[in-house]
Amino acid sequence: MNNNIVKLLSIALGILFGFLLVSVGATNFDYQAKMFLFQDFQLPIVLAVAMITGMTGVWMLRRMKANNLIDQTDIEYVKVPFNRRIIIGSLLFGIGWALTASCPGTAITMLGEGKLIGLPIVAGILSGTWLFGLYNSRS
Amino acid sequence: MDNTVIAAWLGGLLIGWFIVLHFIVIGRSAGCSTGYACIIDKMHKKTNLFGKLDNFKFFFILGLPLGGLAHVFLFQGTWQVSFDMGMYEGILPAGTVIRALILLIGGVLLGFGARMAGGCTTGHALVGGALLNWSSILAAILFFAFATVTSWLLFSGFSIN
């Protein structure tokens, strides 16, 4: 299918996901902080229910051998192989998550909400991604 | 905290369905951190920093702030600029520059860590969880564990109301 249609569909899905992140409170500093301090279970419940719902849905898609809508080919379910980098990467990511009360999806969504405190976070994510790219291409 | 926030079970259902919808429409997994790599990749044409990237992820993260904007217009009334950090106001130093610097460093850790781990909360916890991908589930557990330890350190000695 025409690439421009896939681009538009990607933007539309992004809009929907951004909307959902705000709806569940994921772009709210206090919900994030209270999740890690075990004071509020809004976001942990969202994550758990979403994982179970996603699991059920993907299981059904696989059973039905469903094709994707854009070009009617097989859906790619990529299995990420284990790699020691996952451990170190998760350590850095976890510290960053707690320091900013955001993750890469919520930080950029906050900008649309007017929470411009997300600007240094987004700038940081871009810099960190770039730094990793340099490190990755040289090792 | 925020009266426009929907019930957790409903939010979880909708986000779970979204993950499935993304598979149906695009045919690949949803993800946020790859979009940042697409931006850097476009600016860094000479060398290939990240290997093969799903370039449509750039358009996906472009939609995210628009979704935030739509939520404000539909449910929150007027759009306004805010620098409020909620509970973090109490633990971060007061100066604007130092505060921005701490968030920038946190962002660097998020960006570097997500690429090193091969995904962020969306790709590993939500999608990897849905696929029962064990290395993703391990990553999600580690994200959560390390963030929890860091939060307890940050907020130790800080009483909530």
Distance between CA B34 and CA B28 in Å, rounded?
A: 13
Nearest to A18 among B40, B68, B116 (CB): B68
Q: Which of A59-63, A65-69, A79-83 has the highest mean pLDDT?
A: A59-63
Does A74 share its domain with A122?
A: no
When divided into structural domains, chain A yields a total of: 2
Looking at the DSSP assignment, which residues form a beta bridge with residue B82? A115
Q: Is the pLDDT of residue B158 over 90?
A: no
Q: pLDDT tens digits for B19-50?
A: 999 999 999 999 999 999 999 999 988 888 99
Check CB contact under 8 Å for B120 and A9. no
Q: Which residue of chain A is at minimal alpha-carbon distance from B136?
A: A80
**Rounded distance between C-alpha atoms, residue B110 and residue B92, angstroms:** 18
Residue A39 CA from chain centroid, whole number: 23
Look at residue B27 and give its three-state secondary structure.
coil
Determine the average pLDDT of the residues in A76-102: 94
Same domain, A36 and A55: yes
Q: How far apart are CA B83 and CA B106, in angstroms?
A: 17
Are residues A67 and A16 part of one domain?
yes
**Is B71 close to A113, i.e. CB distance below 8 A?**
yes
pLDDT exceeds cutoff 70 at B160? no
B98 at interface of A, judged by CB pairs closer than 8 A? no
Q: Are residues A91 and A54 in the same domain?
A: no
Do A54 and B130 lie within an 8 Å CB cutoff?
A: yes
User: Residues 6 or more apart from B150 whose CB is under 8 A from it?
Assistant: A36, A94, A95, A97, A98, A99
A139 and A116 co-located in one domain: yes
Residue B159 pLDDT: 44
The per-residue pLDDT for range A102-123, each reduced to its tens digit, is 999 999 999 999 999 999 999 9
The answer on A87 and A74 residing in a single domain is no
**A41 and A62 share one domain:** yes
Q: Which of A31, A37, A109 sits opposite B1 (nearest CB)?
A: A31
Q: Of B133, B137, B123, whose CA–CA distance to B22 is shortest?
A: B123
* Cβ contact A14–B148 (<8 Å): no
Last residue of a domain, one of A78, A104, A128: A78
Range of the domain at A136: 82-139
Domain extents in chain B:
85-161
Q: Name which of B9, B21, B67 is nearest A45 (Cβ-Cβ).
A: B9
Q: A99, B154 in Cβ contact below 8 A?
A: yes
Which one of B46, B85, B108 makes the best mutation probe of the A interface by having the most chain A beta carbons within 10 Å?
Answer: B108
Are residues A90 and A60 part of one domain? Answer: no
Shared domain check, A111 and A55? no
Sign of CA dihedral B28, B58, B88, B99: positive
Shortest Cα distance, chain B CAs vs residue A1, angstroms:
11
Q: Are B117 and A96 within 8 A, CB to CB?
A: no
Cα–Cα distance, B151 to B160 (Å, whole number): 13
Q: What does each C-alpha distance from A86 to A80, A82, A134 come to in angstroms?
A: 10, 7, 18
Interface of B with A in 125-154 (CB under 8 A): 125-136, 138-139, 142-152, 154
Q: Which of A59, A78, A97 is the last residue of a domain?
A: A78
Residue A87 shares a structural domain with residue A56: no
